[in-house]
Amino acid sequence: MEILQGRLLALFIVAFATTTTYLIQAQSDPKEFISLDCGLHHAVSPYTEPLTGLTYTSDANFTQGGQSGRVQKVWEEAYKPFTVLRYFPDGVRNCYNLKVTLGTKYLVKALFLYGNYDGLNDGPKFDIYLGKTTPIISALELRPLRDDTYNTTNGSLKLLKRYYSSDFLGPSIRYPSDVYDREWKPISLSFGLSFVNTSLNVNSSTPYELPQEVISKAVINKNVTEKLSFDWIVDNREDQALIYLHFAEIQTLRDNDTREFDVVWKGNDGNITISAYRPPKLQLETLYNTSPMKCRFLACTVELVMTQSSTLPPMINAMEAYMIVEFLDAETNQEDASAVEDVRDTYELSRIDWQGDPCVPRMFKWEGLNCSYTNATLPPRIISLDLSSSGLKGVIASSIQNLTHLQELDLSNNNLSGGVPEFLGNMESLLIINLGWNSLTGPIPQALRDREKKGLKLVVHGNPNLCLSDSCNSNNKKVLVPVFASVAGLIALLVLFFVLRKKKPLSKASTRELPRKSSIFAKKKKFTYSEVVELTNNFERVLGEGGFGVVYHGSLSDKEPVAVKVLSESSVQGYKEFKAEVELLLRVHHINLVTLVGYCDEGGHLALIYEYMANGDLKQHLSGETAGSTLKWASRLKIAVEAAQGLEYLHVGCEPPMVHRDVKSTNILLDNRFEAKLADFGLSRSFSVGAETQVETVVAGTPGYLDPEYYLTNWLNEKSDVYSFGVVLIEIITNRAVIELTREKAHIAEWVKVLISRGDIEKIVDPNLGGDYDSNTVWRILELAMSSVSHSSSDRPSMSKVVNVLKECLISENLRTGGGQIQDDESMNSELTVNFGTEVTPFAR
């Protein structure tokens, strides 16, 4: 049993074996009880449980995922009525959403009965967030408690033990005897203990309200000179415990009798003692250590020591021991959580991981979200929303404007229609808006135009009916004024308007209003060669040169710089790679992939026009070619995360999946905000839809980054990119050349292996970092990199795993350096969500 304390968490982690209970913060009323029989079919719900008389309902309306199972017959008789269960074979987070009262403390109990439901005879273990095997649950129960009980300064309480005194191993005591439905188990009487009881009524009208069956019984020492001692075992040395002791004098004392003893809680930080305690006659009194204590040698100990003036031995009626459970983050800001839930409902998104709290836990926040985290007392805020390639239809959801801390919004590559809403221009926190490749119409709101002048990056390519000219506003107003006459008139007028726009050329006056180069910007993806010459100012400024050809600086307008890659006659890649890159970038869109603005294929002239990446490539910044200072560790981690996300999108977000085949530090480009994007997709390959996981192909790539397994077998799969990215990670850590013939081992990965085997780990990290990093984070990235460059692709992690580890490390580094923004304290979410996990093996109850 556990107590969740102080506030309700929008995300609650179920972490218990067999029956586990949490106390969370109301006078008990069975009408406020929530009792779920998990996996129960709705046709037989609700029902009354005969032992307690409580009403149980099906959990079907409280969770999105999972399937129903039934324990085998050998388990059914002993564990009625909980013979069905819900198991969760899909997704990394499966949540229960329960409506509770904000500010109320709750007791939460969960029952896990495996019962060999799957016939494997192998009880599952599941971690806190991500299951090693299939998570299961049989029952889930919530009970309101009084606010003045089980108080902690921080965190919640997880039950270790709850005992009452009994002269035999009788049944557990729970509701209706216990109005809060706490479950009391009889204490195991060891040699030297005696049991006493009374038939008199014991006054238990205190906040803890123990049942008469509990408080009317007690244990004492037979030997009056010996202390009464109890121990509880914890898992870790750092665990902290609260131990509650319940006393009432239930024996009739003679005039010369005295029961007096010291109560001692023994911990690593010293002892807590209440001296010369005398239990009140026939009256419940509860003592507990108000300061949580760390337990010595993994054992929490309480001793009752008879004083010299006492004639009777110590006595105790009941006891409870709890471990403090701290939650690292507050639940997501209420307004942000409601806003993103509205977005989900508006577009009818059925993503299995879009359950529970959007930002918590950090490792498993909703896909497509980034959140800012400061400390456990401040709610996380949603700072980016990526719904690209999500099949969205309809207009842009108005609830997006309620994400008041949103910095990046990506709605690209969907089927959104209607106009660009005015509210986007009023969202002061937005820095990037990507609306490309939709079916949006009408003008760009003036508020957005004004924000662009102040640095907002607005991407609208791929919306052929979106007007990009400043003159659109006035023209549209003239057409739309009479529309309100009737619905039929509106339809006819709009049809006429678009027919006229298509067939009637612009007047000379309106043509003069448009800057000349805007005609290029308004075109679709294909450019003429003369337009390429114009936008590069006759190939005036060279940005770089590669195997494909020369890259030139260009400009679609004064505010739209581009990079233009022109195929040289001597190119070793040629038309095949040019065509592959155009076809890939025309259909994939991700914030961490360089955007293709257009291409030219005219009379032997081949060119690719990309968004301009003002800060060059990662290799330049690591090698010191740029004039800026050394990249800090946090900056390197951020770049790694963003590049990894781009690769992950190619592997799992594209249909069919794509393999880049040329991942290297020079192909990770940085824009003017130092955001990383993958570039150069000329060698990329896709897999067929279906079971095919690899293809045979001619080997291509860059020496040093090339997957050795792919090189030897010609068989390509996504783990080839993982190998190349692993090499990039080693570059980020070491700032050494990938191939250096003067080293003992020429290849960077083999060189690092030698240093690790010798224990020379200090020589691995780039000395330019000056020791400004968390060594634990560095070694975790190093372990990730070395597993990524395993010679066997089966031993390499997936890019999704790589992304998760990198994100965790970036969060850790930002916390170390104080990164992130300070947010205002907000009211807490009133939903309690249960998310499966923690290293738990369910057994029979």
What residue numbers does the annotated binding site for ATP cover?
565
Cβ-contact 15, 836 below 8 angstroms: no
Which residue's structure tokens are 């509701």?
Answer: 175
Strands 34-37 and 55-58: what pairing? parallel
Residue 86 in tokens: 């819900």
Chain centre distance of CA 523: 40
Residue 87 dihedral angles phi and psi, to the nearest 5°: -120, 155
Apex 405 CA angle, 818 and 380, nearest 5: 50
Cβ-contact 337, 330 below 8 angstroms: no
Residue 666 dihedral angles phi and psi, to the nearest 5°: -80, -15
Strands 193-197 and 217-221: what pairing? antiparallel
Query: Catalytic site residue 235?
Result: no
Dihedral of CA 71/77/79/83: which sign?
Answer: positive
Coil, helix or strand for 502? helix
Segments in 789-838 forming alpha helices (H): 799-817
CA atoms within 13 A on the CB side of 437: 22
Read off the DSSP letter of residue 62.
T
Chain centre distance of CA 291: 32
Query: Within 10 Å of residue 275's Cβ, how many Cβ atoms?
Result: 11
Helix axes 748-758, 775-788, angle to 10 degrees: 130
**Of the candidates 67, 104, 71, 101, the residue with the CA atom closest to the CA atom of residue 86:** 67
Single-letter residue type at 133: T
Q: Strand order in 136-137's β-sheet?
A: 67-70, 84-87, 136-137
Cβ-contact 244, 286 below 8 angstroms: yes
Strand-pair partners of 655: none
Which residue's structure tokens are 């290297």?
Answer: 664
Catalytic residue among 662, 680, 707, 766: 662
Q: Which residues belong to the annotated binding site?
A: 565
Residues classed as catalytic: 662
